[in-house]
C-alpha cells in the first residue's frame, strides 16, 4: 500500500551529531525517562542540541520565579534574575542567553528572537498562557517554547470561584464602603448562586475545575468549548452547548479559553446583546477575549449586571480605565496563578522543562513542536540517525546542492500507516538535506518552516511489506528528483538520485546507491567510487590513503556482475587531502568517485 503526503512538520533534532552536539550534556535517548512532577505520562518531544562554548548554559529569568525552581536551575545553569527589563534591555541581554523564563508580564517579541543571534534555544513560560510569546517567530528561529500547563490550574479555578462568589455578594464594594466609614446593608444585597445557570466558556483544565466547584455550590453548569470531549463534560454532569446557546441562557458566565485570533474580543457588542439581562461575568482567562469598551456599554445598559475581572487587555490597565473604575466591576491584578503553592509548582515545572530542553532531552510541555509519544521515540531512535545520514548523503551527491526542490521518501514497513509515525524521520531527513548546504540549524521546531521557506517539497510514501510488524521499518529510501549528480552512479534507472538505508544491530547502514546494492555502516566519511570490477582495486586505493596516514575503517564492493562495473565504498576517519583524492581519481579503472561527510 502506498500513501503520499507532502512535508508538513514542525520539528526536529535528536541524537547528538558531530555537527550539532558539541557540549557534554547527556544524549536525549539515554535520558528519555526524565521524571516529571505531575501527570507526565502523555507525550515527550525530541528537542535539540545546543552548541555552547561555556559548559554551563545561561538562563535569563525575567520575572519572579518560585525559589525551588530557581534552585533547580542553578544546579545546571548560570542563572541571571533580571526583573522589570525594558524591551530594549531584554533584547540587549538576550544574545548572551541560552534560555529565557517569563510569566505573563514579559512580551517575547520577534525582535527578541532576532536579537538573540541564534543563541536562544528555549523560552520557558512559567504558567499556561503563551499569548505573550511570538510563537511564529520562535518557530522560525528554531527556538523551543515550553510552558507549565498544570501547576496553576487549581489556583486559577479557585480564583474564578472566589471572584464569582465575591461578585455575587458585593464583597469588595462592601469592604471598601465599611472602611470608608459607612454601613450600607441594603445597598449591598447580593444574589444567590444556588440553582442559577453558570456557562463555562472554555472547558479545559481550569474551566472543568471551575465547573466541578460550581456544581458543589448547587449551580446548574453548562459549557461551550468546540474542542472539549463530550464524555469529559458528561462525567462532570455538564452539557456542552453552542456559544450562542450557552451565553443566552446563562445567569453567570465564566471565561476559561486561551487568547487566540479566534477568541480575541469574542465577547463583543453582538455577544452581549444575546445575553440575558442582568448576566454576571467572570474573567480569569485573558483580557483580550473581551471587547472592554463593549463591556462598559453592556454594564451601563444593565445587560451585564456585574463583572469580576482578573485580566485585562492592557496590564496594568490605564489608571482612568472606565471598566476598572465601574462600580459594578470587581478587579484583581492578574492573581489567578498567584498562590504560594501554584508558584512553587509552576517554577519547578518550567525549570525542569527548560533544563531538559537545554540538555537535548525529550520535553513534555513543548508548545511549538509536534507531540510524539515517548515509546515511539525510543523505538524510532536508530531510524532517526539513519534518516539524517541518508538526507546528508543524498544532498552531497547533488551537483550544486542548492537546487534540491523535490524529494521523495519511501518507508518500507510491515506496519500500517496508522502504526508508524514518520514525522520525526521526515524532519531528520530535512535536517540532513538542508544543513550541509546552508548555515541554518535545523531542529524539531523549525524543520517544516525552513523546508517550506526553501521551496523544498518532501513527499512521503509508505511501502507496505508482508511479515512481522515488530520492527518499525525495514528500510528508508531517499530520492531527489530533477537534479544532476556529481556521482552519476547514484542516479537510479528512473532518473533520480537514490540512496537507501537500513538499521542493522542498531546501527545505520547504507544499502543502496542508485541501482547498486551495497552494505556499509554509515559512520565518519565515505569515498564512493565507480570502477571496472577487477582485482587489486581495494589495494590501490588503500595504498594511496595509507601514504597519507588516513585510516580506513571499512571497504565494501557492490557489483552488477563479475568483471563488469562495481561500486566501492571506503570508510575513512578523516578527509583525504586534495592530492590523495587526485591520485584516487587517476587510478585507470576508476570511472568516477566522490567524497562525502556523514
Ligand atoms: N488569571 C490567571 O492567572 C490564569 C491562570 C491560569 C490560566 N489562565 C488562563 O486561563 C485559560 C485557560 O487555561 P487552561 O489551563 O484551562 O487551558 P486549557 O488549554 O486546559 O483550556 C483551554 C480550553 O479552551 C478551549 N477553547 C479554545 N478555543 C475556544 C473557543 N473559541 N471557545 C471556547 N473554548 C475554547 C480549549 O479547547 C481548551 O479546552 C488560558 O487563557 C490561561 O492563560 C489564567
Ligand atoms: O496563563 C497563566 O498561567 C496565568 O495567566 C498566570 O500568569 P502569571 O504567570 O503572569 O501569573
Which residue's CA is the closest to the ligand 1 atom numbered 43?
129
**CA 322 – CA 325 distance, rounded (Å):** 5
pLDDT given at position 396: 93
Radius of gyration, CA atoms only, the chain: 30
pLDDT given at position 541: 87
**Ligand 2 pocket, CB under 6 A:** 103-105, 126-129, 152, 334, 336-338
pLDDT at 48 over 50: no
* pLDDT above 90 as % of the chain: 64
Give the mean pLDDT of the chain: 87
- The segment with the largest mean pLDDT, out of 209-218, 224-233, 395-404, is 209-218
Question: Where is pLDDT greater, at 86 or 427?
Answer: 86
Average pLDDT, integer, range 535-540:
83
Q: What is the pLDDT of residues 140-175, one digit of tens each?
A: 898 999 999 999 999 999 999 999 999 999 999 999
Using the mean position of ligand 2's atoms as its centre, give its distance from the Cα of residue 104 in Å: 5
Which string of b and e fits 466-492 if b means at least 16 CB within 10 Å? eeeeeebbebbbbbbbebebbbebbbb
**CA 384 – CA 358 distance, rounded (Å):** 20
pLDDT at 513 over 70: yes
Contacts of residue 349, defined as CB under 8 A and 6 or more positions apart, other chains included, come to 37, 38, 69, 126, 148, 149, 150, 151, 365
Pairing state between β 197-201 and 220-224: parallel
Which residue's CA is the closest to the ligand 2 atom numbered 9?
103
Out of 126, 132, 244, 257, mutate this one to test ligand 1's pocket (max ligand atoms within 8 Å of CB): namely: 257
Concatenating the DSSP letter of every residue in 323-334 gives HHH-TTEEE-SS
Residue 199 contacts residue 253 (beta carbons within 8 Å): yes
pLDDT at 256 over 70: yes
- What distance separates the 2 farthest-apart alpha carbons in the chain? 109
Out of 334, 340, 343, 351, mutate this one to test ligand 2's pocket (max ligand atoms within 8 Å of CB): namely: 334
pLDDT at 20 over 60: no
**CA 39 – CA 415 distance, rounded (Å):** 30
Which ligand 2 atom is nearest residue 334's CA?
A: 11
| Residue 220 annotated among the catalytic residues of the structure | no
Residue 531 contacts residue 537 (beta carbons within 8 Å): yes
pLDDT given at position 364: 72
pLDDT at 395 over 90: yes
- The segment with the largest mean pLDDT, out of 318-327, 395-404, 453-462, is 318-327
pLDDT at 534 over 60: yes
Q: Which of 141, 159, 256, 286 is catalytic?
A: 286
Q: Which of 88, 315, 341, 579 is catalytic?
A: 315
pLDDT at 72 over 90: yes
Q: What is the pLDDT of residues 219-240, one digit of tens each?
A: 999 999 988 888 889 999 999 9
Average pLDDT, integer, range 421-428:
88
User: What cell does 327 get?
Assistant: 462600580
Residue 592 contacts residue 513 (beta carbons within 8 Å): no
pLDDT given at position 210: 98
| Residue 496 annotated among the catalytic residues of the structure | no
3-state secondary structure of 410: strand
Give which of 118, 115, 122 is closest to 88, Cα–Cα.
115
- Measure the N-to-C terminal CA separation of the chain; round to a whole number of Å: 31
Using the mean position of ligand 2's atoms as its centre, give its distance from the Cα of residue 126 in Å: 7
Which ligand 2 atom is nearest residue 105's CA?
A: 10
pLDDT at 589 over 50: yes
Which ligand has an atom closest to residue 227 CA? 1
Using the mean position of ligand 1's atoms as its centre, give its distance from the Cα of residue 294 in Å: 22
Using the mean position of ligand 2's atoms as its centre, give its distance from the Cα of residue 168 in Å: 25
pLDDT given at position 6: 26
Which ligand has an atom closest to residue 124 CA? 2
**Ligand 1 pocket, CB under 6 A:** 128-129, 152-153, 156, 201-207, 224-228, 256-259, 262-263, 284-286, 310-311, 334, 336-337
pLDDT given at position 409: 97
Average pLDDT, integer, range 519-529:
90
Q: Which of 334, 392, 423, 509 is catalytic?
A: 334
Residue 10 contacts residue 449 (beta carbons within 8 Å): yes
pLDDT at 31 over 80: no
Which ligand 2 atom is nearest residue 148's CA?
A: 3
Residue 52 contacts residue 98 (beta carbons within 8 Å): yes
| Residue 40 annotated among the catalytic residues of the structure | no
Using the mean position of ligand 1's atoms as its centre, give its distance from the Cα of residue 558 in Å: 59
Average pLDDT, integer, range 573-582:
87
pLDDT at 276 over 80: yes
pLDDT given at position 25: 31
Which ligand 1 atom is nearest residue 150's CA?
A: 15
Q: What is the pLDDT of residues 281-316, one digit of tens each?
A: 999 999 999 999 999 999 999 999 999 999 999 999
Which ligand 2 atom is nearest residue 125's CA?
A: 9
Average pLDDT, integer, range 311-338:
98
Which residue's CA is the closest to the ligand 2 atom numbered 5?
129
Question: Where is pLDDT greater, at 442 or 81?
Answer: 81
pLDDT at 59 over 90: yes
Using the mean position of ligand 2's atoms as its centre, give its distance from the Cα of residue 474 in Å: 47
Average pLDDT, integer, range 342-354:
97
Q: What is the pLDDT of residues 188-200, one digit of tens each?
A: 999 999 999 999 9
pLDDT given at position 17: 30
pLDDT tier for residue 268 given thresholds of 50, 70 and 90:
very high
3-state secondary structure of 239: strand
pLDDT at 113 over 80: yes
Using the mean position of ligand 1's atoms as its centre, give its distance from the Cα of residue 202 in Å: 6
Question: Where is pLDDT greater, at 334 or 28?
Answer: 334
pLDDT given at position 54: 60
Question: Where is pLDDT greater, at 5 or 494?
Answer: 494
Amino acid at each position: 500500500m502506498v500513501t503520499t503526503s507532502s512535508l508538513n512538520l514542525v520539528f526536529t533534532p535528536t541524537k547528538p551529531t558531530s555537527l550539532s552536539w558539541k557540549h557534554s550534556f547527556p544524549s536525549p535517548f539515554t535520558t528519555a525517562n526524565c521524571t516529571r512532577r505531575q501527570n507526565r505520562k502523555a507525550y515527550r518531544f525530541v528537542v535539540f542540541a545546543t552548541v555552547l562554548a561555556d559548559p554551563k548554559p545561561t538562563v535569563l529569568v525575567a520575572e519572579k520565579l518560585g525559589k525551588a525552581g530557581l534552585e533547580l536551575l542553578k544546579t545546571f545553569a548560570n542563572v541571571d534574575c533580571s526583573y522589570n527589563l525594558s524591551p530594549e534591555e531584554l533584547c540587549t541581554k538576550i544574545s548572551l542567553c541560552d534560555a529565557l523564563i517569563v510569566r505573563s508580564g514579559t512580551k517575547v517579541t520577534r525582535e527578541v528572537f532576532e536579537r538573540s543571534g541564534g543563541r536562544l534555544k528555549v523560552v520557558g513560560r512559567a504558567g499556561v498562557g503563551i499569548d505573550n510569546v511570538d510563537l511564529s517567530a520562535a518557530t522560525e528561529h528554531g527556538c523551543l517554547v515550553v510552558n507549565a500547563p498544570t501547576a496553576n490550574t487549581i489556583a486559577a479555578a479557585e480564583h474564578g470561584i472566589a471572584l464569582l462568589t465575591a461578585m455575587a455578594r458585593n464583597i469588595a464594594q462592601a469592604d471598601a464602603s465599611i472602611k470608608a466609614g459607612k454601613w450600607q446593608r441594603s445597598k449591598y444585597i447580593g444574589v444567590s448562586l444556588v440553582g442559577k445557570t453558570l456557562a463555562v466558556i472554555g472547558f479545559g483544565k481550569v474551566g472543568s475545575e471551575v465547573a466541578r466547584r460550581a456544581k458543589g455550590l448547587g449551580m446548574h453548569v453548562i459549557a461551550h468549548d468546540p474542542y472539549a470531549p463530550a464524555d469529559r463534560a458528561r462525567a462532570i454532569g455538564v452539557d456542552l452547548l453552542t456559544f450562542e446557546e450557552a451565553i443566552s441562557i446563562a445567569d453567570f458566565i465564566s471565561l476559561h479559553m486561551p487568547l487566540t485570533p479566534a477568541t480575541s474580543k469574542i465577547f463583543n457588542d453582538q455577544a452581549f446583546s444575546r445575553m440575558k439581562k442582568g448576566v454576571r461575568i467572570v474573567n480569569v482567562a485573558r483580557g483580550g477575549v473581551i471587547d472592554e469598551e463593549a463591556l462598559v456599554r453592556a454594564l451601563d445598559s444593565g445587560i451585564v449586571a456585574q463583572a469580576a475581572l482578573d485580566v485585562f487587555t492592557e496590564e496594568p490597565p490605564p489608571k482612568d480605565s472606565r471598566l476598572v473604575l465601574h462600580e459594578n466591576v470587581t478587579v484583581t491584578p492578574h492573581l489567578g496563578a498567584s498562590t504560594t503553592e501554584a508558584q512553587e509548582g509552576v517554577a519547578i515545572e518550567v525549570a525542569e522543562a527548560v533544563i531538559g530542553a537545554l540538555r537535548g532531552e525529550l520535553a513534555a510541555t513543548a508548545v511549538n513542536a509536534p507531540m510524539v509519544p515517548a515509546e515511539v521515540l525510543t523505538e524510532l531512535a536508530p531510524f532517526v540517525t539513519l534518516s539524517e545520514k541518508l538526507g546528508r548523503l543524498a544532498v552531497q551527491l547533488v551537483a550544486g546542492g542548492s537546487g534540491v526542490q523535490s524529494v521523495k521518501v519511501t518507508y518500507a514497513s510491515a506496519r500500517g500507516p496508522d502504526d508508524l509515525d514518520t514525522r520525526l524521520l521526515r524532519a531528520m531527513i530535512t535536517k540532513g538535506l538542508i544543513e550541509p548546504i546552508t548555515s541554518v540549524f535545523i531542529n524539531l521546531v523549525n524543520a517544516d518552516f525552513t523546508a517550506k521557506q526553501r521551496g523544498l517539497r518532501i513527499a512521503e510514501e509508505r511501502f507496505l511489506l508482508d511479515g512481522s510488524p515488530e520492527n518499525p521499518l525495514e528500510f528508508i529510501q531517499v530520492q531527489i528528483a530533477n537534479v544532476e549528480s556529481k556521482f552519476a552512479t547514484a542516479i537510479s534507472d528512473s532518473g533520480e538520485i537514490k540512496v537507501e538505508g537500513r538499521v542493522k544491530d542498531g546501527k545505520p547502514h547504507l544499502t543502496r546507491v542508485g541501482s547498486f546494492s551495497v552494505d556499509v555502516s554509515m559512520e565518519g566519511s565515505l569515498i564512493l567510487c565507480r570502477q571496472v570490477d577487477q582485482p587489486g582495486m581495494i589495494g590501490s586505493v588503500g595504498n594511496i590513503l595509507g601514504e597519507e596516514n588516513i585510516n580506513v575503517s571499512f571497504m565494501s564492493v557492490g557489483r552488477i556482475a563479475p568483471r563488469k562495473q562495481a561500486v566501492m565504498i571506503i570508510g575513512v576517519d578523516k578527509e583525504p587531502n586534495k592530492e590523495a583524492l587526485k591520485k584516487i581519481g587517476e587510478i585507470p579503472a576508476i570511472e568516477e568517485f566522490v567524497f562525502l561527510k556523514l
